[in-house]
């Protein structure tokens, strides 16, 4: 009965969503500019329509953005298992209606038995796949601890109310989309390898299939009934640890018991007077974003045509230098000292950009990390929420690769992350995103691996302006930077901004990646200046889900058409 009521509510929401979409169309001033869903009061933009609708439903029941976050996160764990998770981790940045800001880190940690060279063979070479596929690649999950910590501080509805919708859709099933069927079919072999045999997800998938997850529903019910301990202790923990042990994993019950999410002060900086609030270490997102935007600020990028040769060149040179610093300086702040203020100071960044030359690409081989005096290092998902009270949350969460380590704790119904690959297994050795790291991001027991996740909020004239973030591994930071510039420097609407073709440079490899739809006319001129172009055919850079506060106070969604992403609002 409860399920039936829920599905009915969902259907009602979908039809009211249609009305909102119609309203959005009417409000289009210029029909050639794509507009996202427009809402008066509240909005959720996420990778799945079910999750966005569930978040909105919670706010209609009186819940705030934090309540909606918990419900949306768990709905994604059911409806978007490629990245939505209870077996992974993430980061959240928030801005309250009164301007107070904060952040939480529910990033995975290295197990206590982890060692610096655990992914190297006797010759000191990286062992293929060990940090990406199977039990050894799993970090101690943080999501459930994060959700409970957030709820404890800001939640207004009972946790059981926020968990129930996810239990309901896990029980009644979700409809597999074309994209999901394709992704699942591609992973069949990896699922078998990681689990040493077939799992529940091993079958030929097609769009329209119904995925029911009874084991996950039971795990979620244990979390509903026992709180955080329903995951980190007792039955779920035992099932998880036994399963991992059988696969020669090293996570223990003690690792789970000891896991703690942490409040972190966000990174803040201004870009032409707008305040940007983003995630601090152990994510590199906020610092790197600040370095890129502060490096280009004095050049007034809006004087160049959007995505033109000059615009791309300027951003790329700032990105190159920021990622070189990332590789050297950044890691878990509880283990390494990070010179954050220095790295973001205008003097330091001016100095870093001093050898930028409009006539010639700066080769990455000639760009090391900057000198700070006195200093001795494929599938994620982002959702943005604004509530009717004016609170905003920006959340990026991940299993790292698609379906993480591919280890599926069958009896408890969830996938585990392969976040250990975000550590630097060996100095100078690229990880799955081609990112290089150093001592600051070396493996140590209990340490958090460096992330690129960049959940971000923008404030203009002391008021909320934009909530933004994306998946995309190393490309996350550059995608967020480009969307901030699209809106602040080029005055684009939210959907218009999200739809723009994107590009990316990360220092090493020394190449610019372009999405296939990018204007190819600028490639030859860039090549003449010494830039290497990589435009692999199927390349997608990020899936940005964002919300913009329009000048009339209404909210505009930007749901990325590169995925099945969808907005819901009222
Ligand atoms: O934390 C990080 O930076 C990575 N684990 C994110 C992985 C990711 O975005 C994959 N998505 N496409």
- Per-residue pLDDT tens over the stretch 94-145: 999 999 999 999 999 999 999 999 999 999 999 999 999 999 999 999 999 9
C-alpha 478/C-alpha 545 separation (Å) is 15
The pick from 141, 284, 398 for probing ligand 1's pocket by mutation, whose C-beta has the most ligand atoms within 8 angstroms, reads 398
Q: Which atom of ligand 1 is nearest to the CA of 422?
A: 5
pLDDT of residue 425: 94
Smallest CA separation from ligand 1 atom 11, residue? 379
Query: What residues contact 55, with CB distance under 8 A and at least 6 apart?
Result: 44, 46, 68, 69, 71, 72, 75, 383, 385, 568
Residue identified by tokens 């960044």 is 349
Q: Which pLDDT tens digit goes with each residue over 421-450?
A: 999 999 888 999 999 898 999 999 999 999
Give me ligand 1 centre to Cα 400, in Å: 5
pLDDT, one tens digit per residue, over 243-296 is 999 999 999 999 999 999 999 999 999 999 999 999 999 999 999 999 999 999
CB atoms within 10 A of CB 391: 22
More confident residue, 32 or 502: 502
User: Hey, which residues does 511 pair with through a beta bridge?
Assistant: none
Under the banding of pLDDT at 50, 70 and 90, the label for residue 519 is very high
Task: State whether the Cα torsion 133-330-485-310 is positive or negative.
Answer: negative
Q: Within its chain, how far is the Cα of 78 from the centroid?
A: 17
Rounded average pLDDT over 549-570? 97
Cβ partners under 8 Å of residue 256, min gap 6 = 140, 231, 232, 233, 237, 240, 241
Query: What span, in angstroms and rounded, lies between the C-alpha atoms of 455 and 376?
Result: 29
| Among 110, 383, 476, residue to substitute to test ligand 1 (most atoms within 8 Å of Cβ) | 476
Of 131, 160, 147, 167, residue with least CA distance to 89: 147
240 lines ligand 1 (CB under 6 A): no
Q: Across the strands, what pairs with 268?
A: 277
List, in sequence order, the alpha helices (H) in 27-48: none
pLDDT of residue 224: 98
Q: What's the 8 CA to ligand 1 centre distance in angstroms?
A: 35
CB of residue 421 inside a 6 A radius of ligand 1: no
Query: What was the pLDDT predicted at 373?
Result: 66
Token reading at 60? 């209609």
pLDDT tens track for 140-159: 999 999 999 999 999 999 99
Element at 456 (helix H, strand E): strand 456-460
Q: Is the CB of 476 under 6 A from ligand 1?
A: yes
DSSP 18: H
Helices marked H in 173-233 = 178-186, 188-195, 214-226, 229-232
For residue 262, list its beta bridge partners.
105
- Average the pLDDT over 455-473 and give the result: 97
Instruction: Evaluate: CB of 452 within 6 angstroms of ligand 1.
Output: yes
* Residue with CA closest to ligand 1 atom 9: 473
Q: Give the pLDDT band of residue 567 (cuts 50, 70, 90).
A: very high
Q: What is the pLDDT of residue 7?
A: 41
Ligand 1 centroid–CA 410 distance in Å is 24
Q: Are 563 and 402 in contact (CB under 8 A)?
A: no
Q: How far is the CA of 433 from the centre of ligand 1 (A)?
A: 8
- By CB atoms closer than 10 A (0-12, 13-18, 19+), residue 372 is middle
The region, left, alpha or beta by phi > 0 then psi within -120 to 50, assigned to residue 468 is beta
- pLDDT at res. 304: 98
b/e code 297-315 from CB counts within 10 Å (16+ = b):
bebebeebebbebebbbbb
Q: Is the CB of 146 under 6 A from ligand 1?
A: no
Q: Which helix (H) or strand (E) holds 513?
A: strand 512-514
- Cα separation of 490 and 305, whole Å? 9
Q: Residue 532 carries which DSSP code?
A: -
The reported pLDDT for the residue numbered 378 is 65
- Greater model confidence, 535 or 476: 476
The β-bridge partners of 283 are: 451
Nearest Cα to Cα of residue 2 among 10, 44, 74, 216: 10
Instruction: Please check whether residue 467 is in contact with residue 396, taking contact to mean a CB–CB distance below 8 angstroms.
Output: no
- Measured from the CB, is residue 453 less than 6 Å from ligand 1? yes
Give the number of other CB atoms < 10 A from CB of residue 188.
16
Q: Rounded CA gap, 397 and 504, in Å?
A: 21
Position 31 scores a pLDDT of: 73
Q: Which residues contact 199 (CB under 8 A, 6 or more apart)?
A: 191, 192, 408, 410
Three-class SS state of 316: helix
Cβ of 480 less than 6 Å from ligand 1: no
The set of residues, in sequence order, having a beta carbon less than 8 Å from that of 194 and lying 6+ positions away, is 133, 134, 135, 247, 405, 406, 407, 408
Band of residue 372 on the pLDDT scale cut at 50, 70, 90: confident
Average pLDDT over residues 460-479: 97
Question: With contact defined as beta carbons under 8 Å apart, do 135 and 40 qualify?
Answer: no
pLDDT given at position 539: 82
For the chain, the average pLDDT equals 93
pLDDT of residue 271: 98
Q: Would you call 106 helix, strand, or coil by DSSP?
A: strand
Is the torsion defined by CA of 174, 176, 180, 186 positive or negative?
positive
Q: Residue 537: what pLDDT?
A: 67
Q: What is the per-residue pLDDT for 29?
A: 55
Most confident option among 371-375, 426-430, 458-462: 458-462
Compute CA 54 distance to the chain's CA centroid, rounded to the nearest angstrom: 20
Is residue 462 packed enough to be buried (19+ CB in 10 Å), middle (13-18) or exposed (0-12)? exposed
Q: Which ligand 1 atom is at minimum distance from the Cα of 379?
A: 11
User: Is the per-residue pLDDT at 340 higher than 80?
Assistant: yes
C-alpha–C-alpha distance, residues 515 and 548, integer Å: 24
- At residue 28, does pLDDT exceed 60? no
The Cα 204–Cα 488 span in angstroms is: 45
In this predicted structure, the answer to whether residue 70 has a pLDDT above a threshold of 50 is yes
| pLDDT score of 77 more than 80 | yes
Question: Across residues 316-328, what is the average pLDDT?
Answer: 97
346 token code pair: 């205008």
Per-residue pLDDT band at 535 (split at 50, 70, 90) = confident
User: Alpha-carbon distance 13 to 98, whole Å?
Assistant: 29
| The total number of residues written for the chain in this structure | 570
Question: pLDDT tens digits for 217-232?
Answer: 999 999 999 999 999 9
């Amino acid at each position: 009965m409860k399920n039936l009521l829920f599905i009915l509510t969902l259907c009602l929401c979908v039809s009211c969503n249609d009305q909102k979409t119609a309203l959005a169309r009417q409000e289009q001033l210029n029909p050639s500019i794509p507009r996202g869903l427009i809402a008066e009061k509240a909005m959720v933009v996420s990778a799945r329509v079910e999750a966005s609708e569930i978040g909105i439903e919670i706010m209609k029941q009186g819940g705030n953005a934090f309540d909606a976050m918990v419900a949306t996160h768990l709905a994604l764990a059911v409806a978007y298992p490629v990245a939505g998770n209870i077996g992974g981790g993430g980061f959240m940045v928030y801005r309250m209606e009164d301007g107070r800001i904060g952040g939480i880190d529910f990033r995975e940690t290295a197990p206590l038995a982890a060692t610096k060279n655990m992914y190297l063979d006797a010759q000191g070479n990286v062992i293929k796949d060990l940090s990406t596929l199977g039990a050894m690649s799993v970090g101690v999950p943080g999501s459930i601890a994060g959700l409970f910590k957030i709820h404890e501080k800001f939640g207004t509805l009972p946790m059981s109310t926020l968990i129930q919708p996810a239990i309901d859709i896990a029980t009644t099933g979700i409809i597999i989309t074309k994209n999901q069927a394709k992704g699942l079919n591609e992973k069949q072999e990896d699922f078998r390898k990681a689990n040493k045999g077939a799992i529940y997800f091993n079958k030929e998938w097609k769009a329209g299939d119904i995925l029911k997850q009874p084991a996950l529903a039971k795990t979620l019910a244990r979390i509903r009934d026992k709180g955080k301990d329903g995951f980190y202790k007792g039955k779920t923990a035992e099932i998880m640890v036994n399963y991992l042990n059988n696969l020669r994993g090293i996570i223990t019950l003690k690792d789970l018991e000891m896991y703690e999410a942490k409040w972190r002060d966000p990174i803040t900086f201004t870009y032409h007077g707008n305040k940007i609030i983003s995630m601090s270490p152990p994510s590199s997102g906020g610092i790197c974003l600040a370095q890129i935007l502060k490096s280009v600020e004095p050049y007034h990028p809006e004087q160049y045509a959007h995505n033109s040769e000059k615009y791309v060149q300027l951003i790329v040179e700032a990105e190159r230098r920021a990622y070189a610093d990332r590789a050297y300086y950044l890691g878990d702040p509880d283990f390494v000292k990070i010179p954050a203020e220095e790295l973001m100071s205008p003097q330091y960044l001016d100095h870093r950009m001093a050898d930028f030359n409009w006539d010639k690409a700066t080769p990455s081989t000639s760009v090391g990390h900057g000198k700070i005096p006195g200093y001795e290092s494929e599938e994620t998902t982002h959702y943005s929420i604004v509530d009717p009270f004016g609170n905003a949350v920006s959340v990026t969460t991940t299993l790292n690769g698609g379906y993480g380590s591919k280890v599926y704790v069958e009896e408890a119904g969830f996938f585990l992350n392969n976040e250990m690959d975000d550590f630097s297994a060996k100095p100078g050795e690229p990880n799955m995103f081609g990112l290089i790291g150093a001592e600051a991001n070396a493996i140590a027991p209990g340490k958090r691996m460096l992330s690129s996740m960049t959940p971000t909020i923008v404030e203009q004239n002391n008021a909320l302006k934009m909530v933004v973030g994306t998946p995309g591994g190393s490309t996350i930071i550059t995608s967020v930077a480009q969307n901030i510039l699209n809106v602040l420097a080029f005055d684009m609407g939210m959907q218009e901004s999200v739809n723009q073709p994107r590009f990316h440079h990360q220092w090493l490899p020394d190449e610019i990646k372009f999405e296939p739809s990018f204007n190819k006319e600028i490639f030859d001129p860039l090549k003449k200046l010494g830039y290497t172009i990589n435009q692999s055919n199927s390349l997608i850079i990020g899936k940005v889900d964002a919300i913009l506060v329009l000048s009339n106070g209404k909210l505009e969604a930007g749901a990325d058409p590169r995925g099945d992403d969808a907005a819901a609002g009222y």
